[in-house]
């Protein structure tokens, strides 16, 4: 990671109280040895979240969101330390105003960190809200002492701007951290930075899988459909495990590998636009949602004395030749092609010798 600029400011706000911007803070020396590690910790903490929402600036109302113009001005300038401080100061002003809105009365303050950095081939702006936590340290006499430290692992709110994607004109270049709280309090970060068109990662993942099935069905790819879905889900799972976002161009390439020869000219390169249409609204880039992936790929059920957990692709009706066949009339499941070790385990259990 190459850290270009860093600004740290502080917002004072208690629940139901007005927000006050502290005079403390400002630009931070990026050459200090601990500073890059701090930003990397924040970036990793955001990557671990599965409740990210993705979207873009609200360009229809730029006057209502001053940060949008300030962001564009910053990118068009020298991007000096003073330029970044100007951008950050405007950002924190907008945050304070958003936190003071009636719907965000429960929001509380903390340290606001603005970081401009390069990571591999992408350039980012990260804005994070963190707070102190109590910890125990030992003094010179080895006596326990309570100290306050910044909790970098627990982000309260965060926004990440993919500057590289923005410059390339991609549809999705903003990521925001969601919460389990209800109400507009969860949206003050996105509102402050002019992003109102956001899609939860859970919805994006589910809509993409739905679009995958529908595209195959509408284009007569019946024989290829389940394999395409499996490959797309595998891609999403891999991106999620590697803490990377998923993007439609790469998924489109997966599709193109499965298109029958007679349909190559007709539908090659068209899935991205199909999934990004008004019906599905899958962003060009989004964070895969783990639980949604599991829900679409696995079947879990249990009764009083048993439970099952298997991949949905293994299930079929009687006579389908699937590893697991369902007989609706008899209300039974038949397991086929069981591994020899499972067969032996069942035999030992029936014989009363199941100690191992």
The confidence band for 247, taking pLDDT boundaries of 50, 70 and 90, is confident
Q: Which residue ranges make up each domain of the chain?
A: 2-195, 201-293, 303-350
* Both structure tokens of 278: 């008004």
Better-predicted residue by pLDDT, 75 or 283 = 75
The pTM assigned to this predicted structure is 0.66
H-run or E-run covering 230:
helix 225-241
Q: Give mean pLDDT, residues 186-196.
A: 81
Residue whose token pair is 């993919």: 162
Better-predicted residue by pLDDT, 277 or 35 = 35
Asked if residue 278 lies in contact with residue 294, where contact means CB atoms within 8 angstroms, the answer is no
Q: What is the pLDDT of residue 332?
A: 93
Handedness of CA 85, 90, 91, 97 (dihedral sign): positive
């Amino acid at each position: 990671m190459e850290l270009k600029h860093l600004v740290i400011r502080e917002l004072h706000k208690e629940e139901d109280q007005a927000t006050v911007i502290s005079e403390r803070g400002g630009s931070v020396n990026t050459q200090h040895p601990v500073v890059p590690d701090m930003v990397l910790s924040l970036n990793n903490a955001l990557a671990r979240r599965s409740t990210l929402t993705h979207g873009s600036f609200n360009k229809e109302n730029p006057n209502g969101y001053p940060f949008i113009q300030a962001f564009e001005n910053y990118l068009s300038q020298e991007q000096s330390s003073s330029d970044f401080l100007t951008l950050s100061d405007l950002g924190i002003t907008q945050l304070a105003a958003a936190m003071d809105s009636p719907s965000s009365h429960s929001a509380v303050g903390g340290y606001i960190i603005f970081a401009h950095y390069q990571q591999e081939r992408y350039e980012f702006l990260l804005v994070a809200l963190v707070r102190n936590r109590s910890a125990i340290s030992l003094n010179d006499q080895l006596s326990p002492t309570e100290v306050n430290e910044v909790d970098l692992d627990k982000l309260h709110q965060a926004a990440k701007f993919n500057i590289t994607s923005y410059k390339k004109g991609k549809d999705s270049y903003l990521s925001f951290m969601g919460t389990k709280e209800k109400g507009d309090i969860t949206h003050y970060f996105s509102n402050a930075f002019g992003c109102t068109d956001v899609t939860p990662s859970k919805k994006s993942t589910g809509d993409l899988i739905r679009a995958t099935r529908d595209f195959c069905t509408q284009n007569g790819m019946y024989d290829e459909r389940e394999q395409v879905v499996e490959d797309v889900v595998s891609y999403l799972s891999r991106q999620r495990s590697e803490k990377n976002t998923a993007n439609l161009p790469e998924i489109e390439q997966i599709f193109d590998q499965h298109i029958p020869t007679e349909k190559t000219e007709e539908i090659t390169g068209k899935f991205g636009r199909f999934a990004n249409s008004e019906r599905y609204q899958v962003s060009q880039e989004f964070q895969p949602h783990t639980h949604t992936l599991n829900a679409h790929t696995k079947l879990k059920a249990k009764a009083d004395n048993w439970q099952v957990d298997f991949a949905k692709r293994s299930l079929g009706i009687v006579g389908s030749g699937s590893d697991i066949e369902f007989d609706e009339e008899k209300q039974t499941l038949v397991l086929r092609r069981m591994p020899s070790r499972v067969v032996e385990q069942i035999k030992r259990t029936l014989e009363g010798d199941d100690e191992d």
